[in-house]
Amino acid sequence: MQLHRLRKPLLAALLSLLAALTLGFGLLNPSMAESQELKPAPAITDPARSIEVGAHIENLYNLSLKDKIFTAEGWYWLKWSEPVQEMIAKNNIELKSIVEFVNQVEAWDSKIELDSSQPDRLPDGRYLQLFRFSARFYDDKESLQAFPFQSLSLPLILETRPTIFSVGEENILLNPKLGTKQVLGDYASLNGYQVKGATVESKIHVYSTTFGLEGIPNGGEFSQVTFAVDYATDPWAAFYQYILPWITVMAILLMAPNLEGNFTDVRLAIPSTALLTMVFLQQSARAELPPLDYLTFLDKLYLFGFVASMVLFALFVWGTNAYSNAAPEQQTAVMARINKVDLIFQVSSISGALLILLVSRWGS
């Protein structure tokens, strides 16, 4: 009897702990991204053979996690010296072709315009060309393992072009002299996400091909600069939208053993109803994501919920049969045994959910 009285406050305390730690997962979750075939950019030793690059991302919208695509609008600009200008003139390189967005998609629906027909001449003798862009971009480096508490870094990647500017030929390097605060525009926010800032990174992109320049070492290496806007999901919004429904169903599932054993129909109905509800909720959340070759944090929670529902149904079947087949004088002892097993299931289930949370947060 004392064990039965302790069940409810113990269950409430464990469920509260699970909710708090799950939200904490969202607050502490790190961003996870896969790396490309990149190597560190060398130091600029000859400014005359470099192109200074900057960008201002005014607007960012139409993010699709399912398609890994987003739309961005803004400006980017290039500054170069007289030796680079001589290369441009000698090789008849169009101003739009000095650099390119390597992660741009759907070129038919994109726009890159010169702000002026000819580059401006600066007092220090360099050339300045400003470009206006509006395009769709692809981002394949984000990991959704922490969904719905993921962080995103949406990149705009500029790279030197044509091949004469490669490391193997003229070794023209992009030089991003720009503070990260200048990258963000007034309309770079996204619904459901908090803007965390911007990052600017310079690398050398090593292609798996030399683009026909087999006799030139490093002919497949190009200077690259990434301007990225960093976001993180709002943990409270993600908790309310994705985690709270799961916790609600799990709470109902874990309170079902508190019903006395003679409520056979109700006890057997709750696990199957909970299972169907979690299947529906998990599929609804999954509709926003692309096909993945790994389980997200939310997938792990629902997978655990599926298993818990089936185990509880099996326990109720066992308990119902054990009580029904027991002799009248043994039913009290059988009921005490069923209550003990039910409590073990409740504590084990919540402990398992907490373990999934800890492994997902610190073990990935």
| Cα three-residue angle 281-260-19, rounded to 5 degrees | 35
Asked if residues 167 and 38 have their Cβ atoms less than 8 Å apart, the reply is no
Q: Return the axis-axis angle of helices 244-255 and 331-362, rounded to nearest 10°.
A: 160
Q: Residue 156: pLDDT band by 50, 70, 90 thresholds?
A: very high
Q: What is the pLDDT of residues 4-56, one digit of tens each?
A: 555 555 555 555 555 555 555 555 554 444 445 888 888 888 888 999 999 99
Look up the pTM and report it: 0.77
Rounded Cα–Cα distance for residues 103 and 62 (Å): 16
The arithmetic mean of pLDDT across residues 237-266, rounded, is 82
Asked if residues 95 and 127 have their Cβ atoms less than 8 Å apart, the reply is no
| Lowest-confidence region among 32-46, 113-127, 244-258, 344-358 | 32-46
The arithmetic mean of pLDDT across residues 198-220, rounded, is 80
Q: What is the CA radius of gyration of the chain?
A: 29
* pLDDT attached to residue 32: 45
- Before 148, cis peptide (omega within 30)? yes
The arithmetic mean of pLDDT across residues 314-334, rounded, is 80
How many CA atoms does the CB half-sphere of 327 hold within 13 Å? 2
**Inter-CA distances, 231 with 133, 142, 291, Å:** 22, 12, 22
Rounded Cα–Cα distance for residues 111 and 101 (Å): 12
**Inter-CA distances, 299 with 29, 234, 248, 271, 345, Å:** 16, 19, 16, 19, 21
Among the listed residues 141, 143, 228, 247, the one whose alpha carbon sits nearest the alpha carbon of residue 178: 228
In residues, how long is the chain? 364
* pLDDT attached to residue 59: 93
The arithmetic mean of pLDDT across residues 95-113, rounded, is 90
Task: Return the structure tokens found at 308.
Answer: 């818990």
Task: Annotate 339-355 with DSSP letters as a single string.
Answer: HHHHHHHHHHHHHHHHH
| Cα three-residue angle 355-250-363, rounded to 5 degrees | 20
Among the listed residues 204, 169, 205, 206, the one whose alpha carbon sits nearest the alpha carbon of residue 87: 169
Task: Return the structure tokens found at 141.
Answer: 């480096």
Rounded Cα–Cα distance for residues 11 and 345 (Å): 11
Q: Which domains does the chain have, with CATH numbers?
A: 2-28+236-362 (1.20.58.390), 38-233 (2.70.170.10)
The arithmetic mean of pLDDT across residues 201-216, rounded, is 80
Could you tell me where the DSSP H helices lie in the chain? 2-28, 82-90, 235-238, 244-255, 264-286, 297-325, 331-362
| Lowest-confidence region among 113-127, 206-220, 245-259, 272-286 | 206-220
